[in-house]
A and B are shown apart, each in its own frame.
Chain A
Amino acid sequence: MEFAPRDFFIILFSCFQVPIMKVSKLVSKILGYASMTALALLISIPIFWLVSGALKVNSEILTANPTLWPKEPTLNNFVRAVTERPFGSYFINSVITTLIGALAEVIMAITTAYALVFVRFPFRNAVFVLLLAALMVPEQIIIFPNYLTVANMTLFGLYPKGMLNTYAGIILPGASIAFGTFLLRQYFRTIPTDLVDAAKVDGAGHGLTLLNVVVPVAMPAIATSAMLSFTAKWNEYLWPLIVTTTDQMRTLPIAISRLLDAEGNTEWGIVMAATLIVIIPVIFVFLFAQRYIVEGIAAGAVKG
């Protein structure tokens, strides 16, 4: 339902008991655009301050009269952020854990959802409920027992000293996926069974049916699930913080927070440059796939 701009302000004024019964169309249009501009500024000013800080030399930051935009923009902060710390290894750690973690999640979401919809199994519903219930258990409240599990897990002798401070230790506990499975299951159920049966008649087993029929049809939902997994893994903070013990194994979100100086002598230019490097991949993903992300997030809410 579309509200006229006028209605919005009548509602707003009524809320605050302002005795204006008739707001003219023009005035309300102007007020509408003014509020929208205010909202846009509220979100973009912090981002603007981040970009401008990343481009400033120290003397333009550590001054009583800083300007909004640098007088002499420089890329020097980026060079220093990347070279003065083991930034390369932070970046590689983030890329490896994100790509493998997200890939594992997407593959398992696809195969699990397929099994739940198209493969006959006596306890299918029980498995579904088990996965759904896992959505209710936030990672934060089980970090300590999981830490103990990972510390003592050798993974069949592959990690004789336990999996702390290893990629496997970062990735494995978060590799299972409930929300994406749920999302794909809903989508798979809308695929006409004729399509799947036709593949069966042609002699395709479950593997081929999944790859050649279901995956191509369900691409939008798979993209949604992949985007959500990617951003969640890239941004993850708590688990990698706990499970990594050396600087060499840190991921980017943890590394940038460690650039802050406890004594208050933080080099803001470098910190902002590093922060930009961390958020740019996600911004790109968001720009190209925001419809998928927003749909995925709104999916569970409104349809209820």
Chain B
Amino acid sequence: MTKAFRRDWREWLVFLAFAGPNVLLFAIFTYYPLFRNFVLAFQDYNIFTNEGEWVGLDNFKRFFADPSTNKVFENTLVFTASVVALILAFGLLAALLLNQKLKFRNPVRSLLFSPTVLAGSAVAVVWIYIFDHRYGLFYQVLRPFNIPAPHWLLDPNWAMAGLIMVYVWKNLGYATVIYIAGLQAIPNELYEAARVDGANAWDRFRHITIPGLSPVTFFLMVTSILNSFQAFDIIRVMTHGGPVNATNVLIYRLYELGFETNADYGKVAVMGVLLFVIMFVVTLFQLRYLERRVSYS
């Protein structure tokens, strides 16, 4: 009895030594700041004295009264919706294409995936050069047709489109790889059976491929939404949220209010709380869906 207890006790020590540091770091740098965000959201925080004064819902009121808040939400919605729709649509098309028996499909798959591993700031810098309205690639391509290249990043009407384009260029390969894996997971027999029953390619696509891919599509939709909420480096390098807030999204606004001029820590904490709640709801939605799928299949 005592011997068994001593052995258990040793196991516990090993567990703490092995898993402890990781758990401790999560406690300090993930869970504690999450909690502190909630506290700061209800305080007027002074960074020099490191003290906060309780102000109730004041920060929330000020955040929603801020005229730029609406614009920021609108931008986030436009950015997220466009990015998710484009990545899902083109990702599926590219996956269907690269899942055929074509030579060189493997190198093209790798090529398509490669931008996802590159630094966002490096990709952004290259695209600024491409977009440059005097020396850039777009200008070069359009010049023979006498079409003036837009001042992409300086024009409020074009900046968001430019950002979306770059983000999709960088992240398309991720969706494609996942979709290819999803296509390969659909059992061949289903297609064989449908063919025997006289279904044509369009029927097979509509009634086997699309339903067969729906879990993957759902997964990609959720991850793309969550990832696009976190898009920061491209926006920071390419537009700084400008021109005149045209590309200022929630995560950039949070950074701006925390670390650029006109800092407002109360609003930063409010945004942290809001973003957490939004993303938490999206993730819960995914978990519930996965649960249902697992228990019914």
Contacts and interface: CB of A to CB of B under 8 A. Distances in A.
Interface of A: 1-8, 10-12, 14, 29, 32-33, 35-36, 39-40, 42-47, 49-50, 53, 61-64, 66, 108-109, 111-112, 114-116, 119-122, 124, 127, 130-131, 134, 136-138, 140-149, 152, 172-178, 181, 206, 231, 234-235, 237-238, 241-242, 252-254, 256-257, 259-260, 266, 268, 271-272, 275, 278-279, 282-283, 285-286, 290, 293-294, 297-298, 301-302, 304
What 4 A-B pairs are tightest by C-beta distance, nearest first? A176-B25, A145-B33, A115-B18, A235-B119
A264 to B, nearest CB: 9
Given A290-B110, A293-B117, A1 B14 contact: no
Interface in B180-206: 181-188, 191, 200-202, 204-205
Identify whether the interface residues of B are mostly helix, strand, loop, or mixed.
helix
B21 interface: yes
B251 A140 contact: yes
Interface stretch (B73-81, B155-163, B271-279): B271-279
10 contacts: A3-B96, A10-B202, A32-B102, A120-B8, A146-B29, A241-B236, A257-B236, A298-B177, A302-B178, A304-B293
Contact of B15 (A124, A252, A254, A293): A124
A138 B272 CA distance: 10
Given A134-B31, A144-B269, A36 B18 contact: no
Interface centre among A47, A114, A144 (most CB of B within 10 A): A144
A47 B130 CA distance: 10
Interface of B: 8, 11-12, 14-15, 17-19, 21-23, 25-26, 28-34, 36-37, 40, 47, 50, 93-94, 96-102, 104-105, 108, 110-115, 117-122, 124-130, 132, 134-135, 137, 140, 169, 173-174, 177-178, 181-188, 191, 200-202, 204-205, 209, 215-216, 219-220, 223, 226, 229-230, 232-233, 236-237, 251, 254-255, 258-259, 265, 268-269, 271-272, 275-276, 279-280, 283, 290, 293-294
